[in-house]
Structure formats: structure tokens, C-alpha cells
Structure 1
Amino acid sequence: MLCPSVSSFFFTLGLADKVLVFPYETDFSFVALTPQKEMSLKAFTLCMRVATELPEERQIILFAYRTADYDELNVWRERDGRVSFYMSGDGAFFHLPPITTFRSSLCLTWESRTGLAAFWVEGKRSTYQVYKPGHTIRPKGTIILGQDPDKHLGGLEAVQSFVGEVTDLNMWDFVLSRSMIQAWHYGHKVPKGNIFDWATIEYALNGNVMVVDDD
């Protein structure tokens, strides 16, 4: 399915103390995000709190950033339960604790200089993998939650959609230290995300997505 041009969306600012709820599987429900700076990245930290009741064998898109020709940064839970991310080609796959109905804090770090990549769950780091040293994520794409665009602004499939809750999504253009990631996990004050800061994030809803209080 094609999704509307991002320029046609009505954007709103700020999700402090709010949760995005994707109540059921669709091929049209998603949230578009506007970064605070160009997504030309040689390093990043991406963090979010996420929960789902979808079965482990169901593939789920957790974050999607696509330019005209490439999936610049896609984060998935795979059909075999592993969590992965892809940058313009084959992905890196990690065996992590399962994402369940109880909210998990999930971070991903990567830097181009060494290629070192790791996921962090509940403040604990996975083993490092070396993935795409020397790579640069390209700017001028579209970032959405809830769907995987198989082409720029299109190609949405219900069987890959996210169903569940997402909150506290933040992103930095550098790798946060262990102490900072652990502080974020426990809800302590950390430097505001300079790409996405949940409290001031610019977002637009499409389809059946709810914004609810984080009780």
C-alpha cells in the first residue's frame, strides 16, 4: 500500500509522558517523525521502550528510516525471535531477551569508525558485533514507526506492521556511554536526544494510532 506524502501530514510537537498505541495489525497505520537535524550519520544511539503481544514467530518492524533507494536504518524483531538492524543491505542479528507484553527498554548503538554495534536491553549490553565500518547513513529520507516502507513512501504490509506500545524514543548522533544508557533506562536525566527527544519530538499520526497517558 502507498502512504501519503509526508508533506501532507499534520505534525504535532511533544510526547512527554505519552505512549503511542498501535492497537491492531494494518497496512496503513504509522507515525511519521521529523528529525531535529539531518540524518547524515557516522554514529548513533537509538533508544525506545516497547511492548507487544505479537507471537515471537511474527516479524515486527520497530523503526524504519528509508531514502529513495535504500533502507538506511531499519530495526526488526525477526521471525526467529532475534533482534536485528539493517543499513543499506544485509543486517546484523542479535539474540536478546524476548520483547513481550511487559515494556522493555531497548537501545542500539553503532559507530562507523570501528563498526562496533550492540543492543542494550534493560541497561545491559549485548556482545559487540562489527557491522559496516566506514559506512555513513544518508539524509533526506522518511522515518516512520509502525510500518516498513519497502520503497520510499510506499509498499506497506500488514504482516510486518507493529502492534503494541512505543514510548520514550530518543536518538543521538553519537554513542552514549554505558552509564548514560543505564541512566536513561532507569529514567534519570540524560542529555536530550539531538535527533529525537521524546518530550519535543515532531510527529504525525496516520491511520489507527492512539496517543495515551503513560500511566
Structure 2
Amino acid sequence: MDHTHRAYCQNVSPGGDIILCTRREEDWVPVTDEWDRLSCWRTNCFKMGINTVMIMAVLLGVSLTPSLTTQAGLSEKVLVFPYETDFSFVALIPQKEMGLKAFTLCMRVATELPEERQIILFAYRTADYDELNVWREKDGRVSFYLSGDGVFFHLPPLSTFRTSLCLTWESRMGLTAFWVEGKRSTYQVYKPGHSIRPKGTILLGQDPDKHLGGLEATQSFVGEMTDVNMWDFVLTRSMIQAWHYGHKVPKGNIFDWGTIEYELSGNVLVVDDD
């Protein structure tokens, strides 16, 4: 079998919990088809390129990027993405498969990145498609993509002060809208009849241009995120407004911030929501 274009992995830490993947073939074990599954993150394979400095740091016992360990629960916590990087992200583990015909996604977000720079706010990718991406575009608009061309909205700009942001979409009529501070944008019709495919990877902070790889620093998120919740149905106006004001709403059945399972990579910080 020709392994020329496949990745090869080797344990380099005494405990075997750090695995480096490169294109080198000699004395290395080829990754199986499970490479294209979220489980590859959980076994700490990095398909994206690892530069010489990082490899030497690991060999010398210095951890620049901690191994991915699943953690749970972020109640009253904030994720801080302090720097522009191509390696810092948070992988989210959904409570159920992401095969969806409707959803509500909510988060509270703050950033000081200039408007002329793209920012990835949410990325869900399967092996072949960007299934569900949310962006702040270079022109300041906020966009939403389902496996192809996106739909764009003129919203109040994101800023250093926290913005509560929700997105709703349903397949039957294709109605989609953003909600900012509990107020709905105009509806747009987008991808009626579409279904979001399951068995992908969900990242905060980075946009993978290919499955589990191809990260770009110039698209990374820098700032703060908290209260990321997702439901497999469209919340009513009163529910979204209640969430905005911090009142009790049905727990997200895909993600619930208080119980969410997640994995940190790079220099992302988890701090108290003071």
C-alpha cells in the first residue's frame, strides 16, 4: 500500500499521551480510517502541521500545547482566546449527533479585532463539508454557511463589550435569523429542505479548512466567549429573550454550557465570569 500521502504517528511522551503526526514514513504507524473521526482529537493526533519548535519542545519535555483532555461544565466561566494563533481552539462534544433539520445556537461574545478582519465564531465540519459555520466577515456583516454559499446579515458590530448573539434556522421553509440582545433581524430564506450531516467536529476559535486541519491564524477568534448553548429546534422569541436576560430556559439538548463536554488546545484560558 502506498502511504506517501498519509500521516504517521508516534508516541513521544513517557506516558504515551502525546502523539505527533507528520508525513515521515520510516518506522511510523499509519493512521487508520478512524483518522477522520472526532476520536482522533481525543487520542491527541494533530493532522495540522507541527513546526520544528513545537516538536523539539515536546521532545525536551516542554509543553507548548497541552494534550487534549475531555472536561465538563463551564457554568459561570468564560473562554478567553488571548492571541491570534493557528493552534488554539476549543473542541465541543455534542450530547447528540448533529444530524439536524433545525437549530438554535446562542453565545455571548466580545472581541476587539478590527472589522476588516474575518473572525470565525463557530465551526462544524464533517470530512467533506463545512456543515455549519458562523463568521464575522471583513466588511462587518455576520454570515451563516451550510455546506456552500452563505447568507449575510447587517447586524450591530461586535465590540469589546459582550454581545448576546443567537442564530435560528429551520429546514422546512428555510427561515433563518440572527438575534442580537434579544432582538431579531429580518428573516431570510436559506437552504429550505437542507439537512445538516452528523459525525463531524465542532470547534470554537478556529475554522478547519479541511477535516481536523488547515487552521489559519488570520481567521482565528481573539476575545471572549461564554454561555454557548445549542438546541435542535427553534426557540421562541420569548425563550431567546429570556436567555438574553439570564432567565431560565430549556437546557440546550446539543450543548448546555453548564454541563458541556469540551477539550482545550493551545493557549485558551478558562476564567471566572466576573
Letter in 2 for 1:7: R
Instruction: Choose between structure 1 and 2 for higher RCO, CA contacts under 8 A separated by at least 6 residues.
Output: 1
SS at match of 1:45: strand
Structure 1 residue 65: deviation in Å? 0.2
Counterpart residue number, 1:35:
94
Which of these residues, 263, 269, 274, is aligned with residue 204 of structure 1?
263
> How far apart in 2 are the matches of 1:198 and 1:134?
29
> How far apart in 2 are the matches of 1:156 and 1:10?
20
Letter in 1 for 2:126: T
User: What is the CA deviation profile of residues 161-182 of structure 1, one whole-angstrom value per residue up to 9, with x for unaligned ones?
Assistant: 0000000000000000000000
Unaligned runs of 5+ in 2: 1-6, 8-19, 22-39, 44-67
Letter in 2 for 1:208: N
User: What is the CA deviation profile of residues 146-195 of structure 1, one whole-angstrom value per residue up to 9, with x for unaligned ones?
Assistant: 00000000000000000000000000000000000000000000000000
> How far apart in 2 are the matches of 1:183 and 1:30?
29
Moved over 4 A (4+): none
Structure 1 length as normaliser, TM-score?
A: 0.98
- 2:216 is aligned with 1:157: yes
> How far apart in 2 are the matches of 1:52 and 1:7?
29
User: What is the CA deviation profile of residues 129-149 of structure 1, one whole-angstrom value per residue up to 9, with x for unaligned ones?
Assistant: 000000000000000000000
Counterpart residue number, 2:160:
101
Counterpart residue number, 2:112:
53
> How far apart in 1 are the matches of 2:273 and 2:261?
18
Superposition CA RMSD, Å:
1.2
> How far apart in 2 are the matches of 1:11 and 1:97?
35
> How far apart in 2 are the matches of 1:22 and 1:62?
12
> How far apart in 2 are the matches of 1:7 and 1:113?
35
Choose 1 or 2 for highest CA Rg.
2
> How far apart in 2 are the matches of 1:95 and 1:168?
23
SS at match of 1:136: coil
SS at match of 1:188: coil
Unaligned runs of 5+ in 1: none
Structure 2 length as normaliser, TM-score?
A: 0.77
Letter in 1 for 2:99: S
- 2:41 is aligned with 1:6: yes
Structure 1 residue 7: deviation in Å? 2.1
- 2:214 is aligned with 1:179: no
Counterpart residue number, 1:44:
103
Structure 1 residue 6: deviation in Å? 1.5
> How far apart in 1 are the matches of 2:173 and 2:230?
20
Percent identity over paired residues: 84
